[in-house]
Chain A
Amino acid sequence: MSLIRLDSICRRYEMGGETVHALRGVSISIERGEYVAIMGPSGSGKSTLMNIIGCLDTPSSGSYELNGNTVADMDDNDLADIRNREIGFVFQTFNLLSRSTALRNVELPLIYAGVDIDERREIALAALADVGLADRVEHRPNEMSGGQRQRVAVARALVNKPSLLLADEPTGNLDSKTGEEILALFKALHAKGNTLIVVTHEEEVARHARRIIRIRDGLVASDEVVT
């Protein structure tokens, strides 16, 4: 069974009285353990697709199954739980809580999952160690470099052992060297069996993936395996 099954997903917005068709029928399947890049120029609908895959947004029509769960039937609370357990987000702008330490940031999904205090500290410390930040746990985001921040974000995304890591332009705000580091980290994660989806407009980044899906005008333009 596929981890992700999108079947003729459409997403329309009302914008100033006009209907915008962001997605016009996208069908994709992604298997467990894949490393997929989603590419497309801005306005192609790739962000909308990412939002739907990440359960931040729901499709106007079409069906979406994530790990056997039919997302379309879910209410806000179920979606929150799905995001908490099944998906780890990595954002272009890191989106860390600026007033909280790295440890607190990583603990956050565990708090929402209801893990008790001792256990969650242990898990969060391990996750930070996994991304090589064992010595930065008490630092706040503004005391860290961009690469370190993004690694905190990755640790936070992985801390609940989600079935899917969803990264939106993860290297967009990083210099190329740090970008490489993050991509190396992704590669290692993939090697460990994690499923990764990276949304990007950079060929460089996309080439690290094993499969590239190109979106254009709300439709899948191509879907190819990287050799």
Chain B
Amino acid sequence: MKRLLAELRENIRMALSALAANKLRSALTLLGVMVGVFSIILVMTAVRAMKNNIEREMGALGSRTFAVTRFPVVNFEGPHGSMRYYRRKELNIQQGQQFQKIADFAPVVGLHSPFGSFTVSSRFAETPPNVPVEGATPGVFQTNNWTMVEGRPLLTADVESARDVCVISIELAKTLFPLGSPVGQRVKIEAINYTITGVLERVGSSEAKALAVIPITTGLNRFGRRRDIGILVQAADVATLGDTMEQARGVLRTIRKVAPGEPDDFEMLTSDSLIKQFNDVTFAVRIGLAVVSSISLLAAGVGIMNIMLVSVTERTREIGVRRAIGAKKRSIMSQFIIEAVVLCEIGGLAGVILGFAGANAVAVYLLKVPPAFPADWAIFGVAICSVVGVIFGSYPAYKAANLDPIESLRYD
């Protein structure tokens, strides 16, 4: 064991000095491996950053909450599917309120509907017309993990009397009321004044966004009643999520008068089911990208083999001398394989670092999603480098080990 370690250390030392002796050649070979690994890491990191971002968006519900909607988020059935969905009855506020009344098995039920994005103005400032205005009931504050920084959330009374009140996100508050507290102040949305009751912060959200929340009833009055709403239901805990969903399904089927045996005419989804669907659909694409991006590493491997063969030829005499003073075939072989692996590893590490940098630059500046550092791909990148080194270093090493010592001493 000790001898093996010593031999290994000697081999690595020799490999490094051989690489240093031929700097240009080593640099170019290294560059090849680096680009190969860079390619993999770049693509897979960018994919991961996008995937993470989508999962984060989908995961906003939290693990014990599910949503009920009229349409599925992603339609996997093409135009026929969408035609079928389109025929579904609207999921309106009356059904939502009815559900809320019956569903006493669910600790929290929220009804919500987006009304679009508008300009929101205060006495001090005005936003561009891109602030989402969301209609909600008090339950939504709990299901969406909104916490109050200041003031109070919407109350049942606000919803029942369709009051002109609103809760704004902390980001919006900073824009509209740069100095004092916004609570009690008024904002104007689409020519209507709303009194601010509180400021919320979105916990665990992927990005800071402006948001204005008004009672869902107020919104329906203002922006039109003919629209679908979403129902958010929070179970007591993750364990009872399944049961709660089944109960909710029964209630909804009754409310929407779905005949026994007919399929549901609504969708129920959890963060996990959404993420799973998304991952299933994109799996083939991700595999394809991994394969395409790995091809350059194959080209790099061929380059290594080529240059190692040159190296073996050039060092024929050195090999002869080593053999003459008692080096075994095995140690010659491991010397060259280690040289290939060392070369690959240096290039591979550089490739991983550059790949992370490149992909995250793309992610942050081009795709506008948070960066990702997939450790699994980094480890894979480094590991595959060793594999490439061993595979493509083996033949040259084999050739070196099987040189005739006498012949090779005579070689010049």
* A–B direct touch in complex (beta carbons closer than 8 A): no
* B-binding residues in A (CB < 8 A): none
* A-binding residues in B (CB < 8 A): none
